[in-house]
Structure 1
Amino acid sequence: MTRPGTMNAMSSQMQDCVEACMSCHSMCEETMSSCMQMGGQAQMQIMRALLDCSETTRMCADMMMRRSPMATEMCAMCAKACDMCAEACMSMPDDPQMTRCAESCRRCAEMCRTMAGATM
Protein backbone atom coordinates (compact mmCIF):
# COMPACT_ATOMS: atom_id res chain seq x y z
CA MET A 1 0.00 0.00 0.00
CA THR A 2 1.25 3.46 -0.84
CA ARG A 3 1.73 6.02 1.89
CA PRO A 4 -0.04 9.37 1.53
CA GLY A 5 2.16 11.86 -0.28
CA THR A 6 4.22 9.15 -1.99
CA MET A 7 1.92 8.93 -5.01
CA ASN A 8 2.78 12.45 -6.25
CA ALA A 9 6.53 11.78 -6.15
CA MET A 10 6.03 8.47 -7.94
CA SER A 11 3.81 10.09 -10.56
CA SER A 12 6.47 12.70 -11.23
CA GLN A 13 9.16 10.04 -11.48
CA MET A 14 6.94 7.95 -13.74
CA GLN A 15 6.22 10.96 -15.97
CA ASP A 16 9.96 11.65 -16.28
CA CYS A 17 10.50 8.03 -17.29
CA VAL A 18 7.65 8.15 -19.85
CA GLU A 19 9.21 11.28 -21.36
CA ALA A 20 12.65 9.63 -21.48
CA CYS A 21 11.12 6.58 -23.20
CA MET A 22 9.31 8.67 -25.80
CA SER A 23 12.40 10.76 -26.47
CA CYS A 24 14.49 7.62 -26.89
CA HIS A 25 11.84 6.09 -29.17
CA SER A 26 11.95 9.15 -31.43
CA MET A 27 15.75 9.20 -31.46
CA CYS A 28 15.92 5.52 -32.41
CA GLU A 29 13.45 6.09 -35.24
CA GLU A 30 15.51 9.03 -36.54
CA THR A 31 18.69 6.99 -36.28
CA MET A 32 17.14 4.08 -38.20
CA SER A 33 16.27 6.50 -40.97
CA SER A 34 19.83 7.80 -40.95
CA CYS A 35 21.18 4.24 -41.11
CA MET A 36 18.99 3.41 -44.09
CA GLN A 37 20.39 6.41 -45.94
CA MET A 38 23.93 5.22 -45.24
CA GLY A 39 23.21 2.04 -47.11
CA GLY A 40 25.89 -0.63 -46.77
CA GLN A 41 27.61 1.13 -43.87
CA ALA A 42 24.76 0.44 -41.47
CA GLN A 43 25.23 -2.97 -39.91
CA MET A 44 22.24 -5.25 -39.35
CA GLN A 45 23.16 -5.60 -35.66
CA ILE A 46 22.76 -1.86 -35.18
CA MET A 47 19.44 -1.83 -37.05
CA ARG A 48 18.11 -4.69 -34.92
CA ALA A 49 19.18 -2.95 -31.71
CA LEU A 50 17.55 0.31 -32.86
CA LEU A 51 14.31 -1.46 -33.75
CA ASP A 52 14.21 -3.41 -30.48
CA CYS A 53 14.88 -0.26 -28.49
CA SER A 54 12.36 1.82 -30.42
CA GLU A 55 9.57 -0.69 -29.94
CA THR A 56 10.44 -1.46 -26.32
CA THR A 57 10.57 2.19 -25.25
CA ARG A 58 7.22 2.91 -26.91
CA MET A 59 5.59 -0.09 -25.26
CA CYS A 60 7.15 0.75 -21.89
CA ALA A 61 5.81 4.31 -22.02
CA ASP A 62 2.35 3.03 -22.98
CA MET A 63 2.33 0.53 -20.11
CA MET A 64 3.37 3.15 -17.55
CA MET A 65 0.76 5.63 -18.78
CA ARG A 66 -2.03 3.10 -18.37
CA ARG A 67 -0.52 1.93 -15.07
CA SER A 68 -0.19 -1.66 -16.21
CA PRO A 69 0.67 -4.10 -13.41
CA MET A 70 3.45 -5.36 -15.70
CA ALA A 71 5.06 -1.91 -16.13
CA THR A 72 7.81 -2.64 -13.60
CA GLU A 73 8.95 -5.73 -15.49
CA MET A 74 8.68 -3.84 -18.77
CA CYS A 75 10.90 -1.06 -17.38
CA ALA A 76 13.57 -3.65 -16.56
CA MET A 77 13.38 -5.08 -20.09
CA CYS A 78 13.41 -1.58 -21.57
CA ALA A 79 16.57 -0.69 -19.65
CA LYS A 80 18.27 -3.77 -21.10
CA ALA A 81 17.14 -2.93 -24.66
CA CYS A 82 18.37 0.65 -24.24
CA ASP A 83 21.76 -0.52 -22.92
CA MET A 84 22.15 -2.88 -25.88
CA CYS A 85 21.19 -0.15 -28.34
CA ALA A 86 23.61 2.36 -26.80
CA GLU A 87 26.39 -0.19 -27.11
CA ALA A 88 25.49 -0.92 -30.75
CA CYS A 89 25.35 2.77 -31.61
CA MET A 90 28.76 3.35 -30.07
CA SER A 91 30.24 0.87 -32.54
CA MET A 92 30.14 3.90 -34.88
CA PRO A 93 31.55 6.57 -32.50
CA ASP A 94 32.42 9.01 -35.29
CA ASP A 95 28.78 9.34 -36.35
CA PRO A 96 27.10 12.24 -34.49
CA GLN A 97 23.59 10.74 -34.93
CA MET A 98 24.74 7.45 -33.41
CA THR A 99 26.36 9.30 -30.51
CA ARG A 100 23.17 11.29 -29.80
CA CYS A 101 21.14 8.09 -29.96
CA ALA A 102 23.49 6.31 -27.53
CA GLU A 103 23.18 9.22 -25.08
CA SER A 104 19.37 9.14 -25.30
CA CYS A 105 19.39 5.37 -24.77
CA ARG A 106 21.63 5.67 -21.70
CA ARG A 107 19.35 8.31 -20.14
CA CYS A 108 16.30 6.16 -20.78
CA ALA A 109 18.00 3.03 -19.40
CA GLU A 110 18.87 4.87 -16.19
CA MET A 111 15.30 6.15 -15.74
CA CYS A 112 13.83 2.71 -16.47
CA ARG A 113 16.19 0.99 -14.02
CA THR A 114 15.04 3.45 -11.36
CA MET A 115 11.40 2.70 -12.14
CA ALA A 116 12.07 -1.04 -12.09
CA GLY A 117 13.70 -0.69 -8.67
CA ALA A 118 17.07 -1.94 -9.86
CA THR A 119 20.22 -0.67 -8.24
CA MET A 120 22.92 0.18 -10.77
Structure 2
Amino acid sequence: MNRRNTPTKEAILNLLLSSRKALSQDAIERALTININRATIYRVLNRFCEDDIIHKIVAEDGKQYFAICKKCENQEEVVQHHFHFRCLSCDTIECLQVPVAYSVPNGYEVQNANCVLTGVCNDCS
Protein backbone atom coordinates (compact mmCIF):
# COMPACT_ATOMS: atom_id res chain seq x y z
CA MET A 1 0.00 0.00 0.00
CA ASN A 2 1.29 3.45 -0.88
CA ARG A 3 1.32 5.58 2.27
CA ARG A 4 2.17 9.23 2.76
CA ASN A 5 5.70 9.85 4.02
CA THR A 6 5.92 12.03 7.13
CA PRO A 7 8.82 13.34 9.24
CA THR A 8 7.73 10.92 12.00
CA LYS A 9 7.87 7.88 9.71
CA GLU A 10 11.17 9.00 8.27
CA ALA A 11 12.72 9.49 11.74
CA ILE A 12 11.61 6.04 12.93
CA LEU A 13 12.69 4.33 9.70
CA ASN A 14 16.12 6.02 9.76
CA LEU A 15 16.61 4.95 13.37
CA LEU A 16 15.77 1.33 12.55
CA LEU A 17 17.98 1.40 9.43
CA SER A 18 20.95 2.63 11.45
CA SER A 19 20.53 -0.02 14.16
CA ARG A 20 22.25 -3.39 13.89
CA LYS A 21 19.81 -4.87 16.37
CA ALA A 22 16.07 -4.94 16.96
CA LEU A 23 14.71 -2.10 19.09
CA SER A 24 11.82 -2.00 21.53
CA GLN A 25 9.26 0.79 21.33
CA ASP A 26 10.78 2.28 24.51
CA ALA A 27 14.27 2.27 22.98
CA ILE A 28 12.92 3.91 19.82
CA GLU A 29 11.13 6.56 21.85
CA ARG A 30 14.31 7.35 23.84
CA ALA A 31 16.53 7.47 20.74
CA LEU A 32 14.37 9.78 18.63
CA THR A 33 15.55 13.37 18.43
CA ILE A 34 12.07 14.70 17.66
CA ASN A 35 9.15 14.64 20.06
CA ILE A 36 6.68 11.93 19.04
CA ASN A 37 4.02 10.51 21.33
CA ARG A 38 3.98 6.81 22.21
CA ALA A 39 0.70 6.05 20.37
CA THR A 40 2.05 7.51 17.12
CA ILE A 41 5.25 5.48 17.39
CA TYR A 42 3.25 2.30 17.94
CA ARG A 43 0.93 3.10 15.00
CA VAL A 44 3.89 3.76 12.66
CA LEU A 45 5.63 0.54 13.76
CA ASN A 46 2.49 -1.50 13.12
CA ARG A 47 2.06 0.05 9.66
CA PHE A 48 5.68 -0.75 8.85
CA CYS A 49 4.97 -4.36 9.89
CA GLU A 50 1.85 -4.48 7.68
CA ASP A 51 3.90 -3.18 4.73
CA ASP A 52 6.72 -5.73 5.34
CA ILE A 53 9.28 -2.98 5.94
CA ILE A 54 10.03 -4.24 9.44
CA HIS A 55 9.15 -7.30 11.45
CA LYS A 56 8.07 -7.71 15.04
CA ILE A 57 9.84 -10.04 17.44
CA VAL A 58 8.08 -11.02 20.64
CA ALA A 59 10.59 -12.06 23.31
CA GLU A 60 9.84 -14.77 25.86
CA ASP A 61 8.84 -12.09 28.39
CA GLY A 62 6.24 -10.66 25.97
CA LYS A 63 8.20 -7.49 25.16
CA GLN A 64 8.04 -6.50 21.48
CA TYR A 65 11.07 -5.56 19.42
CA PHE A 66 11.20 -4.27 15.84
CA ALA A 67 13.83 -4.78 13.14
CA ILE A 68 14.29 -3.88 9.50
CA CYS A 69 13.65 -6.81 7.17
CA LYS A 70 17.06 -7.56 5.65
CA LYS A 71 18.28 -10.12 3.15
CA CYS A 72 20.97 -12.67 3.94
CA GLU A 73 24.12 -12.32 1.86
CA ASN A 74 23.37 -15.60 0.05
CA GLN A 75 19.61 -15.15 -0.32
CA GLU A 76 17.68 -13.33 -3.03
CA GLU A 77 14.73 -12.68 -0.73
CA VAL A 78 14.23 -11.72 2.89
CA VAL A 79 14.29 -14.80 5.11
CA GLN A 80 10.75 -14.77 6.51
CA HIS A 81 11.14 -17.40 9.21
CA HIS A 82 14.42 -16.96 11.03
CA PHE A 83 15.76 -17.22 14.56
CA HIS A 84 16.39 -14.25 16.81
CA PHE A 85 18.92 -14.05 19.62
CA ARG A 86 18.28 -12.14 22.87
CA CYS A 87 21.35 -11.31 24.92
CA LEU A 88 20.74 -11.66 28.64
CA SER A 89 23.65 -9.33 29.37
CA CYS A 90 22.90 -6.27 27.19
CA ASP A 91 19.20 -7.08 26.64
CA THR A 92 19.32 -6.66 22.88
CA ILE A 93 17.74 -8.81 20.21
CA GLU A 94 19.23 -9.43 16.80
CA CYS A 95 18.15 -11.40 13.77
CA LEU A 96 20.16 -14.51 13.00
CA GLN A 97 19.97 -14.67 9.23
CA VAL A 98 19.83 -18.41 8.78
CA PRO A 99 16.75 -20.29 7.59
CA VAL A 100 14.74 -22.16 10.20
CA ALA A 101 14.16 -25.86 9.56
CA TYR A 102 11.00 -27.20 11.16
CA SER A 103 8.17 -29.57 10.41
CA VAL A 104 4.49 -29.57 11.29
CA PRO A 105 1.89 -32.33 11.03
CA ASN A 106 0.07 -32.83 7.73
CA GLY A 107 -2.80 -30.41 7.27
CA TYR A 108 -1.07 -27.54 9.11
CA GLU A 109 0.09 -24.42 7.26
CA VAL A 110 2.64 -22.17 8.99
CA GLN A 111 2.09 -18.48 8.30
CA ASN A 112 4.42 -17.04 10.92
CA ALA A 113 7.20 -18.29 13.17
CA ASN A 114 8.68 -16.58 16.22
CA CYS A 115 11.88 -18.22 17.42
CA VAL A 116 13.94 -16.46 20.12
CA LEU A 117 17.13 -18.00 21.50
CA THR A 118 18.57 -16.50 24.69
CA GLY A 119 22.13 -16.38 25.98
CA VAL A 120 25.13 -14.05 25.73
CA CYS A 121 25.84 -12.27 22.44
CA ASN A 122 29.15 -12.04 20.62
CA ASP A 123 29.73 -8.45 21.87
CA CYS A 124 29.21 -9.41 25.53
CA SER A 125 31.06 -12.74 25.62
| TM-score using structure 1 length | 0.25
Higher share of residues assigned helix: 1
| TM-score using structure 2 length | 0.25
| Greater relative contact order (CA < 8 Å, ≥ 6 in sequence) | 1
Higher share of residues assigned strand: 2
